[in-house]
Structure 1
Amino acid sequence: MPTYNTKEIQKRVDDYISQYKEGYFSPLSLMARLTEETGELAREVNHYYGEKPKKSTEEEKTVEEELGDIIFVLTCFANSLDIDLSEAFELAITKFETRDKDRWTRKDK
């Protein structure tokens, strides 16, 4: 299976969305879609790791598939607002690495 960096992911999603006249959904619609996909991920996690087994009538999905759906919608969101995911990640990881650097118990090296 191929691996992608964030620029490649953003381009591939943009290439896909750009085929259609409708283009990207509005930020509010994308937020709703992201919320829906997060709920679907929560359901799968509960089925695989929680106390709620799947019903025999439920479609077989995986945590991996649901994470992929979230990445797709999140990428649509970023693209629609002209946000570089690499830059957004850098802002976030820098915040965690500084603000939370002493928050957790470090492993002995």
Structure 2
Amino acid sequence: MIEKTLKQIQKDVDSLITDFGGYWPPLSMLASVVEEVGELSREINAKVNIKHKKASEPTNSIGEELADTVFSLICLANHYKVDLTLELKNVLEKYRKRDKNRFN
């Protein structure tokens, strides 16, 4: 099976958002990122028994919450025409150089 590239995923998200009427305003999209990170935090807290969920609260997978967060971040990237493939390549190189002796 051939996996999609990040560039293809950005296009898929753009197509979906276009079908739904377009992107939200940037601050609303940022609020969505924060909301999704909060939901991810809630799931991790429950998983490691730091803060138990109520019986009435749904249990979502950590993977689902991570994917929701990534989706929200891709929406922001698309709005600002950010090539995440290029930016992630650059940030990995930055960490390689900056941290090459940091954890020895």
* Unaligned segments of structure 2, at least 5 residues: none
Instruction: Assess if the C-alpha contact under 8 Å between 2:7 and 2:84 holds in 1.
Output: yes
**Secondary structure at the counterpart of residue 18 of structure 1:** helix
Higher percent of residues as helix: 2
Do the aligned partners of residues 71 and 2 (structure 1) sit closer, same or farther apart at CA in structure 2, a change above 3 Å counting?
Answer: farther
SS at match of 2:19: coil
Q: Distance in 2 between matches of 1:88 and 1:64?
A: 23
Q: Which residue of 2 aligns with 1:19?
A: 19
How many residues get paired? 104
User: Which stretch of structure 1 is more off in the superposition, 46-55 or 57-66?
Assistant: 46-55
Greater than 4 Å deviation, 4+ residue runs? none
Shift of 1:6: 0.3
Q: CA deviation at 1:54?
A: 2.0
Root-mean-square deviation (Å): 1.6
Matched with 2:40 is 41
Call closer, same or farther: CA 1:50–1:30 in 2, change over 3 Å. Answer: same
Alignment of 1:25-64 (within 5 A): 25-64=24-63
Give per-residue Cα distances to partners, 1:6-55, cap 9 Å, x unaligned.
Answer: 0111011011011133x111221111110111011011000002422222
Q: Residues 5 and 31 (structure 1 numbering): CA distance in 2 closer, same or farther, change over 3 Å?
A: same
TM-score normalised by structure 2 residue count? 0.91
Contact 2:44 2:62 in 1 (8 A): yes
TM-score w.r.t. structure 1 length? Answer: 0.87
| TM superposition shift of 1:2 | 7.3
**Counterpart of 1:53 in structure 2: which amino acid?**
H
Residue 59 of structure 2 aligns with an amino acid whose one-letter code is E
In the alignment, the residues of structure 2 paired with residue 17 and residue 2 of structure 1 have an alpha-carbon distance, to the nearest angstrom, of 24
